[in-house]
Structure 1
């Protein structure tokens, strides 16, 4: 059986902000149904890479292909940011928030049609929030709002999903729900790139890991890359310890 074509392919890629900060030496593939954990300290370039893939940070070296093309097609990439940009006091329902994920596909001067409403329902079902669709977004718990924003990212029916620290601030119930959602997306063939410091997420959901600190330091299967030696090199100059769930780096938060 032939190997599936990558959803995302990077070869010697670099992304650099106008001020000079960036990440380089990126060289890995993400296949359909594969989840890749992106791990590194603050300022390592994780968010820079995600922004670059979204077209928000200039690529300054190398080759990046999206399903064999040099640019991502409309709706190909879904993105869950690290923090919600929606005002919880704004009078908008969860269903309306998720419908925002269809706007790029709709374009100007088009009202949502049957296909758009079905995509929204499918996205809400994927994150387990169908019954809360008419609720005001601001009335949901923090974990439910996070899952609602994930549903918004899924509404575009992406083949590549980018997640920036999706577990920050989630209680165990919402953590478990998110893990099951990601497993379901993988089973449907969605490729996932997740920036995280949560080793449990990497171990139970992800297939491979990319370690970065200004450049790519390692890439490979989770068990081969998430070693104490590799993590000490990645988080250089800082004493680290690893527990069951989290990479602990004293003096830092949110990697």
Structure 2
């Protein structure tokens, strides 16, 4: 029996209070599948990710982040007419933001940073237990930083800090992982480590949605691509969607080149 998608968007629109947003979203991500999210600056990529997290208003369509048929059935039986949002339990979604919010000068270890990913499971009144410490250890091993657990976070390289924040997202043991431009500023060693990490997560059945301009990532680890520019323009297998015609349409008349690894978009600084 085919597993249900971890994320399904059906005619979805997400809108900021100021009116900007993204619409016409029809896509799904299965367990163990990675989808690349590609579009120019201001296209709505981050809005889409924030919408999945419940941080931006769902103004049209239906979104399901499903842990079981019962979750969706319960929501459907009680929801009023109009846009619907069905979420599963806390910890379902892990998120790596585009910009780190941690001050590298703050005296905190990498292990303590990753433990933050357990807080939603712990609540306010519980101290981390054996299961939490084991989840942190596994997350650090997954991103290849197990031997640096006690190192002060600010002493790590930029790429290592990025991988540490990814470990924090993984510590919640999510079924869906959202990555917002995870390759920005990474050297080759850390890029390779991130690619290996995504492959390993897919093998474990984690669904991954990656906002990126890095075609190497899309080609090496992603199964499908969604192109957006205010609205969804295309969604499908990488080879079918990442054509020059599709990408030029997505970037709205800006001259675009496709080399082996990256979208070259004059005036967009690769974003």
What is aligned with 2:94?
Answer: 78
What is aligned with 1:225?
Answer: 241
Query: Which string of whole-angstrom CA distances, capped at 9 and with x for unpartnered residues, describes residues 146-177 of structure 1?
Result: 00000000000000000000000000000000
Confirm whether residue 250 of structure 1 aligns to residue 259 of structure 2. Answer: no
- Separation (CA, whole Å) in 1 of partners of 2:132 and 2:109: 16
Alignment of 1:95-114 (within 5 A): 95-114=111-130
What is aligned with 2:62?
Answer: 63
State the 1:254 CA deviation.
4.7
State the 1:31 CA deviation.
0.2
What is aligned with 1:179?
Answer: 195
- Separation (CA, whole Å) in 1 of partners of 2:42 and 2:249: 15
State the 1:83 CA deviation.
1.1
Determine if contact 1:42/1:254 at 8 Å carries over to the other structure: no
- Separation (CA, whole Å) in 1 of partners of 2:194 and 2:248: 28
Confirm whether residue 157 of structure 1 aligns to residue 156 of structure 2. Answer: no
Helix, strand or coil for the counterpart of 2:25? Answer: strand
Structure 2 gap ranges (5+): 73-85
- Separation (CA, whole Å) in 1 of partners of 2:203 and 2:93: 17
State the 1:21 CA deviation.
0.4
Helix, strand or coil for the counterpart of 2:24? Answer: strand
What is aligned with 2:24?
Answer: 25
Provide runs of 4+ in structure 1 moved above 3 Å.
Answer: none
- Separation (CA, whole Å) in 2 of partners of 1:72 and 1:239: 42
Confirm whether residue 54 of structure 1 aligns to residue 53 of structure 2. Answer: yes
Structure 1 gap ranges (5+): none
What is aligned with 2:257?
Answer: 241
- Separation (CA, whole Å) in 2 of partners of 1:6 and 1:130: 31
- Separation (CA, whole Å) in 2 of partners of 1:247 and 1:102: 36
- Separation (CA, whole Å) in 1 of partners of 2:127 and 2:89: 21
Determine if contact 1:32/1:191 at 8 Å carries over to the other structure: yes
Determine if contact 2:215/2:262 at 8 Å carries over to the other structure: yes
What is aligned with 2:7?
Answer: 8
Determine if contact 2:34/2:210 at 8 Å carries over to the other structure: yes
- Separation (CA, whole Å) in 1 of partners of 2:12 and 2:88: 16
Determine if contact 2:263/2:270 at 8 Å carries over to the other structure: no
Cα 1:238/1:46, change in 2 over 3 Å? same
Aligned residues: 254
1:167 to 158, 183, 188: 183
Determine if contact 1:44/1:212 at 8 Å carries over to the other structure: yes
What is aligned with 2:80?
Answer: none
Q: What is the TM-score of this pair, normalised by structure 2?
A: 0.93
Query: Which string of whole-angstrom CA distances, capped at 9 and with x for unpartnered residues, describes residues 52-111 of structure 1?
Result: 111110000000001153113200000000011000000000000000000000001110
Helix, strand or coil for the counterpart of 1:167? Answer: coil
Q: What is the TM-score of this pair, normalised by structure 1?
A: 0.98
- Separation (CA, whole Å) in 2 of partners of 1:143 and 1:73: 31
What is aligned with 2:224?
Answer: 208
